[in-house]
């Protein structure tokens, strides 16, 4: 099983095990400033392709038209809102029915 998890530990003899323990107990190695891969390229010059869509959605949801925020998305939001209320009421009615049957019988 140890061979599958970490093959280097499986083949350790006493000397290798001591070297491995010394390496882990000495803490992290030498800390260098900067990246080991080279200098950072800096910020990207290209804007995010979805930035315009995000700005349009912000305008839609920030428009002062008197609608609550959860209904500003259009007909799909209204359908989801009504379905949520319907399922909540159905669950409430089923609970009342269950408790009524528990009391009656």
Query: Which residue do the tokens 């809102």 mark?
Result: 81
State the average pLDDT over residues 61-80.
90
Q: What is the CA radius of gyration of the chain?
A: 32
pTM of the model: 0.46
Residue 13 lies in a domain: no
What tokens were used for 12?
């350790």
Report the domain count for the chain.
Answer: 1
Per-residue pLDDT at 83 exceeds 90: yes
For residue 97, the enclosing domain spans: 71-104
Residue 76 lies in a domain: yes
Residue 63 lies in a domain: no
Residue 100: alpha-carbon gap to chain centroid? 42
Name the more confident of 101 and 9.
101
Residue 88 lies in a domain: yes
Residue 95 lies in a domain: yes
Per-residue pLDDT at 92 exceeds 70: yes
Residue 58 lies in a domain: no
Residue 97 lies in a domain: yes
């Amino acid at each position: 099983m140890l061979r599958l998890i970490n093959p280097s530990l499986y083949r350790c003899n006493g000397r290798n095990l001591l070297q491995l323990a010394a390496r882990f107990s000495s803490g992290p190695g030498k800390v260098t400033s900067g990246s080991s891969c080279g200098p950072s390229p800096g910020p990207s010059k290209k804007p995010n392709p979805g930035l315009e869509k995000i700005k349009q959605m912000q305008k839609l949801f920030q428009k002062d038209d008197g609608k609550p925020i959860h209904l500003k998305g259009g007909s799909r939001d209204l359908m989801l809102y009504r379905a949520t209320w319907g399922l909540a009421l159905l669950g409430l009615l089923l609970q009342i029915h269950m408790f009524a049957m528990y009391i009656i019988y």
